[in-house]
């Protein structure tokens, strides 16, 4: 039997997320802030050269969210697995905006302090080395910004006969920003740079 009230109660208690997330890949990252000599630095990873995905790229610690795991739990777990930090040394400040990529990734970024960096023991299968950059440097050296065009390639099996315009229907194109930060011999770009840019926006005022 159709129970309208039951459906409305379910909707009332619903916590909105991302429409279609079930078919997307979900991941979390942790932006580690390190206090040193009166300044705050951001710690980055350089991914191992042997990795299949993104070898030698610069990233934040992070990875896929496992079943039954919250995004924050995933960020903390992955940070421990990759750079060997203790959970007690990760002091979470807050969460940044969700990042939805054109290739079906939902990324939950978290920011927090990383204490006792002398405890770190890098997982060399995933991380070649780490380096730190003062936040002040990024505020004084804004990124170069470019824009990729994102196009829709329609499935040839679409029922074009019931679509206005049929095969000539004009699917919209989009723009995806690409940020590049340079620090010494390092180039920070892609997803990592987008998350970094979002974090640095909090310092504008």
pLDDT digit string, tens, across residues 102-125: 888 999 999 999 999 988 999 999
**What are the tokens at 69?**
């795991």
**What are the tokens at 193?**
């740079």
Give dist(CA 151, CA 62) in Å, integer. Answer: 29
Tell me 66's DSSP state: P
- Look at strands 144-150 and 127-134 and give their pairing: unpaired
Sign of the torsion formed by the C-alpha atoms of 15, 17, 22 and 27: negative
Q: Residue 31 pLDDT more than 80? A: yes
pLDDT digit string, tens, across residues 165-196: 999 999 999 999 999 999 999 999 999 999 99
pLDDT digit string, tens, across residues 57-113: 999 999 999 999 999 999 999 999 999 999 999 999 999 999 999 888 999 999 999
Q: Residue 1 pLDDT more than 90? A: no
Element spanning 67, H or E: none
């Amino acid at each position: 039997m159709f129970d309208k009230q039951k459906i409305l109660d379910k909707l009332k208690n619903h916590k909105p997320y991302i429409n279609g997330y079930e078919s997307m890949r979900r991941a979390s990252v942790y932006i580690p802030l390190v206090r040193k000599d009166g300044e705050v630095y951001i710690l980055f990873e350089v991914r191992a050269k042997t990795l299949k995905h993104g070898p030698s790229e610069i990233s934040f610690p992070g990875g896929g969210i496992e079943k039954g795991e919250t995004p924050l739990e995933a960020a903390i777990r992955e940070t421990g697995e990759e750079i060997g930090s203790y959970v007690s040394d990760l002091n979470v400040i807050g969460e940044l905006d969700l990042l939805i990529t054109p290739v079906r990734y939902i990324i939950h970024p978290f920011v927090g302090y990383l204490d006792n960096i002398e405890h770190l023991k890098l997982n060399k299968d995933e991380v070649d080395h780490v380096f730190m950059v003062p936040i002040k440097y990024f505020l004084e050296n804004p990124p170069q910004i470019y824009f990729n065009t994102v196009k829709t390639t329609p499935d040839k099996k679409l029922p074009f006969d019931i679509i206005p315009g049929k095969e000539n229907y004009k699917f919209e194109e989009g723009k995806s920003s690409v940020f590049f930060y340079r620090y010494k011999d390092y180039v920070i770009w892609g997803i990592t740079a987008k998350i970094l840019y979002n974090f640095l926006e909090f310092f504008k005022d």
